[in-house]
Amino acid sequence: MFNVNDIKNGMTVEDEGNIFQVLDFSHVKPGKGAAFVKMKLKNLRTGAIVEKTYNSSVKLAQAHIQRKPMQYLYQAGDSYSFMDMQTYEQVELSKEQIGDDIKFLKENLSVDMIYYGDELIGLNLPEKIDYVVSATEQAVKGNTSSGAQKDATLENGMTIKVPLFINEGESVLVSTKDGKYVSRA
């Protein structure tokens, strides 16, 4: 247990039977009344983001989260298989457990599985992932205004906007935060 005043971004806490990760917090000391802490929390089981206010005297329990590196293997129907590279143990996640991160998966991608005790909560992707451009149009002569972009289909089937100088077969880095082109790999 720790006092709400000792909270930091990225910490994981237990509250009302749920496991939350602290995204943002602020200590507020109004002119009248007791101080309080406003927190923006992400529910690690559901992915929902909530805002909660706690009295500054409240104590919360820290949730001990473990991260285990694994490798994405393949998809079979609505289940996705991952393997622990140390023990060769395989784990399957459903489409619902992975959520929007499905579009970033590609074979042999290294991810971190998130566990709370023995319960598998979900996965964390790397910030940037390297993909090969499988299809894109050729740049049109004269279409060189600054920041001009074209559509490109990546090896996993995802379509993103890339600069005109990117060609088929090139490797590009894509951000998993917003799904946008970052740079050549």
Q: What digits encode the pLDDT tens for the residues 15-29?
A: 888 888 888 999 888
Please name the residues in contact with 161: beta carbons below 8 A apart, sequence gap of 6 or more.
Answer: 149, 150, 151, 152, 180, 181
- For a pLDDT cut of 90, what percent of the chain falls above it? 15
pLDDT at residue 141 greater than cutoff 70: no
Domain harbouring 91, CATH code: 2.40.50.140
What residue numbers bound the domain in which 116 lies?
Answer: 65-124
Q: What are phi and psi of 6, to 5 degrees?
A: -95, 10
pLDDT tier, 81 (very low <50, low <70, confident <90, very high otherwise): very high
Do residue 159 and residue 135 come from a single domain?
yes
pLDDT at 144: 60
pLDDT at residue 140 greater than cutoff 70: no
pLDDT at 143: 58
pLDDT, average across residues 102-129:
87
Task: Look at residues 17, 39, 62 and tell me which one is the last residue of a structural domain.
Answer: 62
Do residue 51 and residue 88 come from a single domain?
no
Domain harbouring 6, CATH code: 2.30.30.30
The count of structural domains within the chain is: 3
pLDDT at residue 78 greater than cutoff 80: yes
Q: Which residue has the higher pLDDT, 51 or 138?
A: 51
Do residue 113 and residue 161 come from a single domain?
no
